[in-house]
């Protein structure tokens, strides 16, 4: 199993550009998450999904969109990149809800810089 | 007030030392707690879950105090390889969106 994979690993965007961060998991997990981590900070939840076709906002959803058409894939879309979106983005998945002590498995992250 | 707060450190300890971190949480409805470890520029990985009864895994012991709303992590006989950032995580409440990481505690173990 590859676990959770993310592409690209690095990206530099200009202000106003758009891009999609890809996330795929091969563990047949129902729950998937997108976090961002700013330097010296913890992870903040952007969006999450409890299954294909179901998504919901986390703590910091503004400026992002997601979709979940399959169990495996959970892409994150930035429509109009802003410098404030410079961060490391982690995708994660879990078999079921973390409220029930289900471990989250993280991808290696995408380092995004907006100039 | 942040939902989950940690002392960011850094904690600098010699090999063999015992070190403890605390993490306080504000949402009394939080149900499950975890400690994750994050190496520099890497993704977080689960270190251990924190149950009400406490749990131990080798040199690591995690405790949960619901009355005072904090969790703790104790590392005994520190190794150089324990140097990392330790993130506490709380989940639960009334929404699956209530997933909150602390900002992390930096540990450096030196020879």
Closest in A42, A50, A59 to B96, CB measured: A50
Per-residue pLDDT tens for B48-66? Answer: 999 888 899 999 999 999 8
Q: What is the mean pLDDT of residues B21-32?
A: 83
Residues of chain A with pLDDT under 70: 98-99
Give the percent of chain B with pLDDT over 70: 91
Q: Which of B40, B94, B97 should one mutate to test binding to chain A, selecting the residue with the greatest count of A CBs within 10 A?
A: B97
Q: What is the pLDDT, as a whole number, of residue A2?
A: 85
Question: What is the pLDDT at residue B72?
Answer: 95
Distance from C-alpha of A46 to C-alpha of A59, rounded to nearest angstrom: 6
Partners of A107 on chain B (C-beta within 8 Å) are: 43
Smallest Cα distance from A85 to chain B, Å: 18
Q: What does B62-100 look like in DSSP terms, one character per residue?
A: EEEETTTTEEEEEE-S--GGG-EEEEEEEEETT-TT-EE
Question: A-chain residues within 8 Å CB-CB of B46?
Answer: 103-104
Task: Give me the pLDDT at residue B1, please.
Answer: 60
> What is the Cα–Cα distance from B95 to B99, expressed in whole angstroms?
9
B103 CB within 8 Å of a chain A CB: yes
Chain A touched by B92 (CB under 8 Å)? yes
Q: Does A23 touch chain B (CB under 8 A)?
A: no
pLDDT of residue B41: 86
The CA angle A48-A50-A52, to the nearest 5 degrees, is 105
pLDDT in tens, A20-32: 999 999 999 999 9
Quickly state the pLDDT bin for B96 (edges 50, 70, 90).
Answer: low
Of B43, B87, B91, the CB nearest to A98: B91
């Amino acid at each position: 199993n590859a676990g959770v994979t993310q592409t690209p690993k690095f990206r530099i965007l200009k202000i106003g550009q758009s891009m999609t961060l890809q996330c795929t998991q091969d563990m047949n997990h129902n729950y998937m998450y997108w976090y961002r981590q700013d330097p010296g900070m913890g992870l903040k939840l952007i969006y999450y999904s409890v299954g294909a076709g179901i998504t919901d906002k986390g703590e910091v959803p503004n400026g992002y969109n997601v979709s979940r058409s399959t169990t495996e894939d959970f892409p994150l879309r930035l429509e109009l990149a802003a410098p404030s979106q410079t961060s490391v983005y982690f995708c994660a998945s879990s078999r079921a809800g973390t409220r029930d002590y289900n471990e989250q498995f993280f991808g290696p992250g995408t380092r995004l810089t907006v100039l | 007030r942040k939902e989950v707060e940690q002392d960011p450190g850094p904690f600098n300890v010699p090999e063999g030392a015992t070190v403890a971190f605390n993490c306080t949480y504000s949402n009394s409805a939080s149900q499950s707690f975890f400690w994750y470890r994050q190496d520099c520029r890497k993704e977080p990985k689960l270190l251990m879950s924190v149950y009400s009864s406490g749990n131990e895994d080798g040199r690591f012991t995690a405790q949960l105090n619901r009355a005072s709303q904090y969790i703790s992590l104790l590392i005994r006989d520190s190794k150089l390889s324990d140097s990392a950032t330790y993130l506490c995580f709380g989940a639960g409440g009334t929404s699956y969106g209530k997933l909150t990481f602390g900002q992390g505690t930096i540990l450096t173990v030196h020879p």
